[in-house]
Structure formats: C-alpha cells, structure tokens
Chains A and B, each alone.
Chain A
Amino acid sequence: MKSVLAASTAVMLAGPVMAEPTAEVLHWWTSGGEAKSVAVLQEQFAAEGGTWTDMPVAGGGGDAAMTALRARVLSGNAPTAVQLKGPAIQEWYEETGLADIGSVAEANNWAEVLPAQIAEHMKCEGTWCAAPVNVHRVNWIWGNKQILDEHGIAMPTTWEEFNAAAEKLQAAGVTPLAHGGQNWQDATIFETVVLGLGGPEFYQQALVDLDPEALTSDTMKQVFDQMRTIRGYVDDNFSGRDWNLATAMVMNGEAAFQIMGDWAKGEFLAAGKEPGVDFVCAQTPGEGFLYNVDSFAFFELDGEEKQQGQELLAKLIMGPEFQKTFNLNKGSIPARTDVALDDFDDCAKKSSEAMNAGAEDGSLLPSYAHGMALRGAPAGAITDVVTAHFNSDMSSEDAVQQLADAVANAM
C-alpha cells in the first residue's frame, strides 16, 4: 500500500515536469467491434495522461489508410503510430526507417511472452519496431451444427473427408460451402488447402520462401485440383459476395461450411449463436496454424512528447489488460501467451492452444492471403493466379506454370 501511495505521489509530482505524451494514431478499425476495441486503447492512453489524436481512415481493407500514410510520409509529417502488419513493417522500415522501441520491449519482456515466429515480425534488423495487438487464426472451418448432425457428418480432418462430406450434402440438396467470390476469399481457401495437402513445411517453401520447385511441384498441382473440386461445392451466386454474408448462409442453414478466419466467429456471436451448440469451429483439414497478426508500428519522429507517446502506446498495446479486452471485442486471441483465457470462448481457447503448440513444432505460419507472409507485389501475383484458376476452367498444370511465372515477374 505504501509503495502504491509513493508511486502515485511520484507520478503526481513528476507529472507537471514531464512532457505530456501525445500520439496520433492512424488505423482502419472503424466497424462496430473494432471501433470499440480502439476506444479501449484510447481510454487507457488518456488515463495515463496522454493526448490521443485519432486518425481513422476507413475503406478498402486498409488500402485507404495506407494511401493516407504514404501522403503523410511523403510530406514529411508521419503519424506517431500506424496500424501496419506483416512484411509491410519491414518494407516501411527500409523505405523510411521506423522508431526503435526496444527499451519498452525489453523492460516488459516481450521476447518471453510472444511466440518466436510472431516476435520476428515485430523486429526490423534485430531491433523491435512494432507492437502486436492480436492473433487471428485464418485456417478455420465453420460448420452449421444442425445440418451436420442431420446428415451425420463430423467436422472433416482431411480434404478427402471434406470432399466426401460435401458430396453427401450436395446429394441432399444442401450447398456444401458458403463462399464469397472475392480475390482474398479465394486466396484464403487456397492457402488452407496448401497447408492441408502439403503440410507446414511445404507451405513454408511455397508461400513464404517462394521456392520455384515447390510452386511447380506435383503437390501444388494437387492443391489446384482440390481448388477445382471446391469450386463445384459453391453455390451459383457466390460472385462478389462479402464474407459476412457467406457466414450468414452457414448461420441460417443455407450452407453447411465456411472456410474463413476467426473474425467469422464475431458474426456468429453477434447473432446470438453459441459455439458447439449452433455452430462448430474446427481447423481446416490438415495440421498447422496460419496467423494474421495486427500490429502497430512507430515512425521516427522528433519531439519528446511524441516519443513518449510512442513508448506509452507500445507499452499499453502489449499490456495484458488491453490484450484481453481488445481481443474479447475483436474475436481474436491475445498475442501474449500469458494472458488468462477464462473469459474467452471455446474456439478462442482452441486457437490459443494450437498457437502454443505450433510455436513449439514450427507449424505456426504466416498467412499469405492476409499479407503476413509476403510483400504486396508477390502476394498479389499469387492471388491473381489463384483467383483466375478458381473462376475459369484453367488446368492445374497451367496454373502452377502461371504461378511460377507470376512470382518471378513480381520480384
């Protein structure tokens, strides 16, 4: 008690002397649950005496925010903190440099509490330059419990099982897979198939290291064969459908499965559905964990109050309290492995277990479809081939050839 008093007195005494931390935060979390999540951070920041300037830029899944960022950086007026993720952090580091937040990271033991693979994304040439907020798992498959029970189908653990289940459902007149025909959704299915059929090692070679041999291998042909099969399990109206509408199809019993990251869970929960009762979550057929980690990076800025703002923000973002509240709102799991998960639902607990296991055996892998594994140009080139194949009658042989060519052309 005494020490608390002493500390608070110290803060009160020190308060007026120190410069007030300020932060201008550029992000694209503007939808309901996301905006609520940011508000939590904003409150905590203000409670610590900081001044927060919000700079939300909605649109295009972050494209608009990135355009705003580019304009700000070009005019020499970079924001204090920016929502950035994956290799884009290192790309920005190479272009303009990012602030070193190593002191905060070391003082708070980030290296201990983050899975090594995820910690690696937060470093630029060995120094800490970003703070992770959450971990989304991408390779989830969601099922409508009632439909599955009715047809006596268990959640598939291999792609053969999935195909068999889908045939059965189709014969019974149920759409097996709810899917939206948008590039990134095609890519999401593709990467889960790569992981499922090829295994974590093959995924690493093909979609992270871009090894031409892996890209043109027979395994990759099988992946495209499976994509063609999956195309047959999708209903006719899938073109351009948003992912949340596809989720609604599973919810309303119009389709049996959806392959989508755990943000889909938010839709189920928001509609009052219960995991295990109304819907089932399982990892997509195969082993491994594909992660999509949101994070904040900090630009190099002059001005003590801004630097203090960056340090305070980094500390808060990685604080256990924020990690818990934020992720409860967003449907993801904390990036910190030491946050108690009592308040989280079963799917989140499963996700966390798989993450910890994956961190041990190396099957914790970055999602290519969500910009974690590759930079924009090669990732986009792969998506072009995947979506062109999925939406046409291209043969798997042509697809792997195009894949290798497109990747080479994007480098």
Chain B
Amino acid sequence: MRARVSRRRFLGLAGAGTALAWLVRLGYDVGPARAQVRDLKTAATTPVHSICYFCAVGCGVTVSVRDGELVCAEGDPDHPISRGRLCAKGMALHEMQRNPDRLTRVLYRAPGAAGWEERSWDWALDRIVERVKQTRDATLEYKNAAGTTVSRTEAIASLGGAILNNEECYAIVKLMRALGVLYIEHQARI
C-alpha cells in the first residue's frame, strides 16, 4: 500500500529573523552566503507503511523507498498511537535493514567445526528436513501405554516468534503441531 506524503505548511511568511537583523546591522552582507541546502532526502520517494519491529506499542513507521532502495525510515505522522514519533530503537530500523553485519547467506556449522560454511538453500532445506524426519521417526510416540493416540515427539523443540508476523507464527505452530512437537515456547514465557 502506498501513501501520499502529507506536507504540513505551518510556517507563515513574515519578516527576517533577529539573527539576520543583527548581522545586517553589523554591515554583514548576507547575499554571498551560499545556500547549499540539500534537497529533502525523501523527495521523489515512495512511502510504504510499516509497524516498528521493537516493542509492542505498535508505532507506525513510514519507509521511504527510491529505486528499490530504502532511503529513510521515520515515524508515520498519521498513526493514531504514535503520531509520527519513534524512540531511539525505532529510529534505528533503517540502519538495521542495511546493516553490513546482516546474514545474507545460509550458514552451516558441521559437528565439531570451528567456523561457518556457506551453503545453498536447497542443500540446507533438504538437510534440515532429513534431520527433522530422522529425529521424529526415531522418537515419535503414537500411542501411550493406555492406548490413547498421543502423536508426539519429545525430542524436538521450537522457540521464538515474538518478533515475527502473525501469519508466520501461525505457520510455525501449524507445522510444529503436525510434526507432533509439544515443546513450543517463545519470548512470552521469558
């Protein structure tokens, strides 16, 4: 969804400021002062609406995009809770996105290895599926001693989700429960 940039013209037109007056009084010629004022960095960008990644106030974030690149992330002035505001963490969202420390490759650490190796998605997904299937098949308890169907594995756990989207949380829960996972926990507990 795209939004229109709201420009609020709140400054009226009036006479020169005190500083200017003082300098003129001292014979200062303001003319040659080179007005090297840069263009507004968000000019000619497309704003996209988001919600802050950090706490659960749910502040609105306006993400300005130009040519597929993020130019700026600042508070969404229309948001009824945050009204354009963001705290120190919220204002760091852009740096987080373009951070050179970000993981951009699938990394694998073999048993006993001292470092990471880059792998492809295909390789990693297949290998993970293999490990999950192996573990599940070896540990699945289908019926308990009383004969009740329990469909569980107590050898696999899933942690996390409090910074994911709802739809991602649901997909994780759905898959994990289908696998028979009971150890499903996340940051709400801690």
Asked if A and B bind, the verdict is: no
